Amino acid sequence: MGTRDPQTEWMRVRAYRRMSGEQRIALAAEMYEDGVAIVRASILDRHPNIGADELERQVRHRVLPRKLALEVERYSQTRGVQRESQ
């Protein structure tokens, strides 16, 4: 990432300070969702025939911290076994 102009950075800081906490959280959530969409598109670009479950697994492994991604995967596998038996 390039060097940011100090004046532009100060304008950004002031804009964030004018926002309510709710607005900042909404902005962060939107940025996170945009990031996930970019990751998903990148995976689909490389693997156009990937299945939905594998796609979501790969997204989790790229977006989440490793430990959390593994915990979610174990939980998902357990839920999959429970769904099949019902």
Q: Kindly report, residue by residue over 1-39, the tens digit of the pLDDT.
A: 567 889 999 999 999 999 999 999 999 999 999 999 999
How far is the C-alpha of 46 from the C-alpha of 76, rounded, in Å? 24
Provide the pLDDT for residue 42: 98
Q: Where are the domains of the chain?
A: 21-85
47-66: average pLDDT: 94
**How far apart (Å, rounded) are the C-alpha atoms in residues 5 and 59?**
33
Please tell me what DSSP assigns to residue 4: P
- 12, 63, 55: which is closest to 33 by C-alpha? 63
The pLDDT, as a whole number, for residue 77 is 85
- Mean of the per-residue pLDDT values for the chain? 90
Q: What six digits make up the tokens of 76?
A: 């998902």
**pLDDT in the model for residue 20:** 96
Q: Contact, 40 vs 59, CB < 8 A?
A: yes
Q: Which residue has the higher pLDDT, 23 or 83?
A: 23
